[in-house]
Amino acid sequence: MDEKSGLTRRDFLGRLAVSGVALSPVLYFILTRNWSGLISEENSSIDTVRSPFSGLVEEAGSMSESEMVDFIFSSDQSMHIENLSPKVKEALEQNDSYNVAIVGNSFVGGNEVWMPFENNLYNFGTRDGLQEVVDKYSLLTRPDARAGSIKVGAAGGATIEFLLDRMMCNEVDCSGRSTIDYVIQEGAPRFVFIGVGTNDEPTPERFIESLDVICQKFLDNDIIPILMTFPMQMLQSEEVRQYNNNLENSNPNAAKIYRDIYKVHLLWNTLIIKYAQSENIPIINPLPRLSELPMSGTKSYLDPWHLTFYGTRTGTGQADRPNFDLARAMGDSAAGSDIVNLLMLEAIQKLDE
């Protein structure tokens, strides 16, 4: 629920129906989910909150929409080598695993965000440093890797509390463990990318407390968490701004709904960055660069949370297989996934130095 607007996602859905707006399956799923009732005390792995974050939440909550946008755009796209916390530094020294993991919702769970290193889908040209990252964490070159180079603990519709609930792990061999515990024990990664926020509707305090529990669980096991801001169609994009203006003129009710969702997601991304800065935890922030792409690097106006990508069909009815090209990622024809993939690889490269 957005406390400022008083709207739940079901309110959004009802207004969309009245407005006559066609819903994509993704948008319908997001707006109809209410995950808050899924977490119970006996099922949740949140036992205690390490420390309150009321000051951080109040600081973010007092910011205007334009101030949050300015804050997000002024934050470095990569904040992963300076002022790292002692626990992060210790984990970097202690953990020599050759595995990488991803946890979160479908924005990071799809194969367009992170391609397996073993499939030769990367083209770095003459930039040897990034190729070394792929080679180092590839199962083909490291046959002793415990669970492959990439361990995914992500699912469509997942929320931040979903990842901590022992009843909600979607892996076949969870055995009563939460997704976070499953990735720690079975993936044994050196780095874990955390992508959450698009489906979350707790209070801001609960959101940050849950994010902190996840990060501290990983750090307690010498695993380095790397936070990520999640995609959203930033209104700084001329194309997105024009679309919203047209929607405002043709269907004010639908425009209000999308505006409310935009404000909530703007707050979540602001809080993710502020938390990372306050705790000195690595983070990548692709939003400034994504905002330069058509539709902010997302697939459509009705799916503003999943990234565009380049790929080819397998010919057997399977999903598109994405690929990464460094020259394309640094040029004007980049896809959304190109930007995120580049920042993820650069984060690993710099943290490994």
**pTM of the model as a whole:** 0.80
Q: Which ranges of the chain have pLDDT less than 70?
A: 1-51, 76-82, 109-120, 139-152, 155-156, 170-172, 235-237, 302, 312-322
Beta strands in the chain (DSSP E): 78-79, 100-104, 122-123, 150-154, 191-195, 224-228, 283-284, 298-300, 303-307, 311-312, 321-322, 324-325
Would strands 78-79 and 283-284 be described as parallel, antiparallel, or unpaired? antiparallel
326 near 334, Cβ under 8 Å?
A: no
What backbone phi and psi angles, to 5 degrees, belong to 241? -65, -40
H helices of 229-299, in order, are 238-250, 252-279, 287-290
pLDDT at residue 88 in the model: 95
Q: What is the pLDDT of residues 117-165, one digit of tens each?
A: 666 678 888 777 888 888 888 754 444 444 445 566 776 677 888 888 8
Domains and CATH numbers, the chain: 9-44+56-352 (3.40.50.1110)
Whether the CA torsion 143, 149, 151, 157 is positive or negative: it is: negative
User: What was the pLDDT predicted at 116?
Assistant: 63
β-strand pairing of 100-104 with 191-195:
parallel
Listed in sequence order, the residues at least 6 apart from 246 whose beta carbon sits closer than 8 Å to its beta carbon are none
pLDDT for position 79: 59
Indicate the pairing of strand 191-195 with strand 224-228.
parallel
> How big is the CA angle at 76 (ends 114 and 322), to the nearest 5 degrees?
15
Taking only Cα atoms into account, the Rg of the chain, rounded to an integer number of angstroms, comes to 20
Residue 314, class by beta-carbon neighbours within 10 Å (0-12 exposed, 13-18 middle, 19+ buried)? exposed
**Burial class for 267, CB neighbours closer than 10 Å (0-12, 13-18, 19+):** buried
- Look-up: residue for tokens 């580049």? 342
Residue 44 has a pLDDT of: 42
| Token code pair at residue 229 | 């801001």
pLDDT at 168: 77
Specify the pLDDT at position 117.
67
- What lies within 8 Å, CB to CB, of 187 at 6+ separation is 99, 101, 146, 147, 151, 153
Sign of the C-alpha dihedral computed for residues 190, 147, 196 and 347 taken in this order? positive
pLDDT of residue 7: 42
Give residue 14's pLDDT.
Answer: 45
Two tokens, residue 188:
């044994």
